[in-house]
Structures are given as C-alpha cells and as structure tokens.
Amino acid sequence: MIDQSLLTRTLEEATKRGGGFAEVFVEDRLSSGAHLDDDRIEELSSGRSRGAGIRVIIGESTGFAHTADLSEQGLATAARAAGDAARGGTGGVTTVELIAQQAHAPNQIGVFPSEVAKARKVELLELANDAARGAGPAIAQVSVGYGDVRRQIQIANSDGLLIGDDQVKTRFSVSCVAQGDAGMQTGRESIGHSFGFEMFDRYDVTDIARTAAERAITKLSARPAPSGAVTTVIGKGGGGVLFHEACGHGLEADLVAKSATVFAGRIGEQVASPLVTLIDDGTMGGEWGCFAIDDEGRPAQRNVLIEDGVLLDFMWDELRARAEGRPSSGNGRRQSYKHLPMVRMTNTYIANGETAPDDIISDTDSGIFVSQLGGGQVNTVTGDFVFGMTEAYLIENGEITEPIREGNLIGNGPEVLMSIDALGNDFAMGSPGTCGKDCQGVPVGDGTPTLRVPSLTVGGTAA
C-alpha cells in the first residue's frame, strides 16, 4: 500500500533521534452494513478509513503518533512526533533494510463483499425478516443486521520486517421479540466468519431467522430460573464466552506483568481440571478471530495455554515478549491504525473431551442446561464473574425438560476450570464476538464442547 522506499525513509526519520525500535502500521479499511427493523430498511451504510500509526520505543518509553496523511510529508511528521515522544537517546541515524516477507493466508476469499450489489444484501435482510415472522403470530418484532469489512494492513519495522495481510469478515444476525401471556421474550442467532460473500452459500439466512424466532417463542412458556447452587451443564459453543472473559484475559501477558490476574506466577501448576486443554488459535481458517499475521506482523499461531489442566504459557505481544527475551505468540492486536497494539485473544477455546453429550445429561440427576450465555462482567484479578443466560433449560432425572427464563450464572473462573467433571466430544465454536479491552475492540471467536460444572450459583427468580 506504501512504497518500500518511503517506508524505509519513514523508519529512518523515526529512529534518527535515538529511537531503539520503530514500526509503521498502515491500514486501509473498507466496510458496509445494512439493518432492517419493523419491516423497514433502517440503515444502509458504507465507509472507508485509511492511515498509519507510527510507534517508537526507547528503553521503557513508547512514543506513538497516527495520521491519515500517507504522503511523505505526513508520514515524516508523524514519525518525528513519535520519536520525540519517546526520545531519550543521544541521536544518530539508524539504517533500515526492509526485507519483504509473505504471510500464509488461513483461508481464501471467494467473493469480496464490496463487489456485491447493495440490493443483494438488502434481499438477505428481507428473506430473514419474512422467515422469522413466518415462525408464528407470537413474533412481534424482528431486527436483522448485515455487515462486512475488508481490512488491508502493511507493517514495516526497524528490524527489517515488511509484511502485509488482507482480512475479510462477514456477519449476519437476527433478533426476535415474541409476545404472549407471560410478557415478552427475546431470541437471537448470529453468524460471522472470515469469509467473503460466499458465506451465504454455506448458510441459509432463513434458517438463522427461524432459529432466533423459535428461541423467543420457546421462552414464552419458560419457568422462572431456580436460585442457588446447582449442577450446570453448558452446551457446545455456548460457554466459550465465559472462558474467554473469566479465564482468557487472565492469561494475557500484560495483565500478568501487572499481577492483575490470578494466573500470575503459576506456570507449571495445575490450574484446571485434568480434562481441560485451553487453546488460543489465530490460524483457525474462516473463524472470526483468524488472520495471517497479527497487528505487529507476527504470524498467527496455535498456542496451547493450559494442557491437561497444567498452565503452560501466556499470550504475548512483541513488546512484552522482547522484554522477556522470548518470541511473540502472535497476539499483538489493535483496533485500528489509531491505536497501539496490545496482548489480545484470537479464537480461544476448550478442546474436545471424550464423553458423548447425551451421557453427560443422563448422568446429571438435576440441574440446568445452558445453551447460550449472554453478556457479563468479570474481575480479572479475582476471576469472579456474572453472566446472563439467554437460553437455558431444566435437567430433571437425567433429561432436558422445560425452558427457564433468563437469569444469571455467578461464579469464579479459575474455580470453574478446576471443577469441570465432564467434557463432551461435540466441540463447536460459538457466535462471533467483539472483545473490548482498554477502549479497543477486536473480533474474536470462542468455543467449547458440552461440559459440566458440579456447582454454579444461579441468580433466578424461582422461590
């Protein structure tokens, strides 16, 4: 996107006042979206942002500047600003020789969404709306959303690295409200992949819509959720967000360095049930959190964080890995060229177990089955969490029976990891997500097989 010779001059400008390490991150982002609500197309949007962020590191100091002006003058101005912010050396010129490298793409894009007419995208919204409303007269409201983004990045640094990536993501979601004697209930279903528009050759939007509508209708007859400590079975895919929030963030090296996590200083210790292997994998082709390189130019990797319950490693970005004299794990990510990279998850999941999910249910005398979790809050220092249940059922005499209304799951992430006593062989990834940290959001995936926790506190309304 920027000529190699111009990148070289920009890096030399950034380091000539004594910079120890300099990096240029260039981004060209093209996006579009559409939204339908109450049978009407409420929004059609498209946008483009293009610019560069320049980082200079001198000792423990980091200077950062960003600009939308990609001319030589604009880049030089930003480079000087970043260098001045980090300045601490005596001056001098650093010669940079950039060597272009190729990144292995985790998947190939068939149809770039920007090549698809807006009318076709609107047609998908209308098809989903009709299918959801056709699920029954109880459906009172339907909202359908579509979005895509193409993000082309280029990274050059004073170590001589020159590399780029072309990332495409497409998503689709349906939310429904059903109304009945017990009031209103909601249901939602979404898909999102690092695919182009060919995603809709693999997924039928009418199926997505019916799933969302049926969830809302089913909950109209739901009983109040129980209260107190109960055995909890979490269905495949549905519990990934819990482990992302309650455990994954605690394995990010920046939080470890601050001792802001219960996992700090515990490498080699048993931190989870022997059934549990926890992995963060940016190479999962097509998944929401996959890419060829991270936002520091390091190849995406499959990182085993916990194996058979033993903590093996943390997730690392380039800055913290350098300080520890070790390689980055490919987890340096940023929201845009206007942001500094930090340690972030990609696709984080608990690997498959060996037990059939039906056997886990039949072996559970009483409890609840959670099919989907919603949003929640987590204290990374203690691991304490509260998550909403958006779809859940009672387990009675080893069978899934009646649906229950939305309630909360309350517990502690490390304690949950240690107490898992059954792990299914039905692994699935969950819905696409955006992970927020320090005011930055990045796309992430998560997943689990069916699993059982002997005791979790449910905050319900049943007496």
Q: In terms of domains, do 128 and 238 share one?
A: no
Pairing of strands 332-333, 183-193: unpaired
Last residue in a domain, options 171, 191, 219: 219
Tell me which residue range forms the domain holding 421.
228-459
- Give whole-number Cα distances, 33 to 36, 143, 338, in Å: 11, 14, 22
Per the CB < 8 A criterion, the answer to whether 355 and 336 are in contact is: no
Distance CA 231, CA 213 (A): 28
pLDDT in tens, 196-206: 999 999 999 99
Q: In terms of domains, do 214 and 266 share one?
A: no
Using alpha carbons only, what angle is made at residue 32 by residues 123 and 47, rounded to the nearest 5 degrees? 150
Q: Six-digit token pair at 117?
A: 């007419």
Q: How many domains does the chain have?
A: 2
Q: In terms of domains, do 166 and 280 share one?
A: no
Using alpha carbons only, what angle is made at residue 108 by residues 315 and 112, rounded to the nearest 5 degrees? 110
Q: In terms of domains, do 95 and 174 share one?
A: yes
Q: Six-digit token pair at 260?
A: 């802001």
Q: In terms of domains, do 64 and 200 share one?
A: yes
Q: Six-digit token pair at 28?
A: 């060209």
Chain-centroid distance, C-alpha 333: 11
Residue by residue, DSSP assigns 267-309 as TTSB-S-TT--EEEETT-TTSTT--SB-TTSPBP-EEEEEETT
Chain-centroid distance, C-alpha 462: 34
pLDDT in tens, 398-451: 999 999 987 899 999 999 999 999 999 999 999 999 999 999 999 999 999 999
Chain-centroid distance, C-alpha 21: 29
Q: In terms of domains, do 308 and 270 share one?
A: yes
Q: In terms of domains, do 237 and 161 share one?
A: no
This prediction has a pTM of: 0.94
Last residue in a domain, options 219, 249, 283: 219
Q: In terms of domains, do 85 and 116 share one?
A: yes
Q: Where are the alpha helices (DSSP H) in 115-204?
A: 118-133, 199-202
Last residue in a domain, options 166, 189, 219: 219
Q: In terms of domains, do 128 and 16 share one?
A: yes
Q: In terms of domains, do 211 and 272 share one?
A: no
Domain harbouring 13, CATH code: 3.30.2290.10
Q: In terms of domains, do 49 and 112 share one?
A: yes
- From first to last of its 463 residues, what are the pLDDT tens digits of the chain? 899 999 999 999 999 877 689 999 999 999 999 999 999 999 999 999 999 999 999 888 899 999 999 999 999 999 999 998 887 544 444 555 677 888 888 889 999 999 999 999 999 999 999 999 999 999 999 999 999 999 999 999 999 999 999 999 999 999 999 999 878 999 999 999 999 999 999 999 999 999 999 999 999 999 988 899 999 999 999 888 888 988 899 999 999 999 989 899 999 999 999 999 999 999 999 999 999 999 999 999 999 999 999 999 999 999 899 889 999 999 999 999 999 999 999 999 999 999 999 999 999 999 999 999 988 888 878 889 999 999 999 999 999 999 998 789 999 999 999 999 999 999 999 999 999 999 999 999 999 999 999 999 998 665 4
Q: In terms of domains, do 200 and 238 share one?
A: no
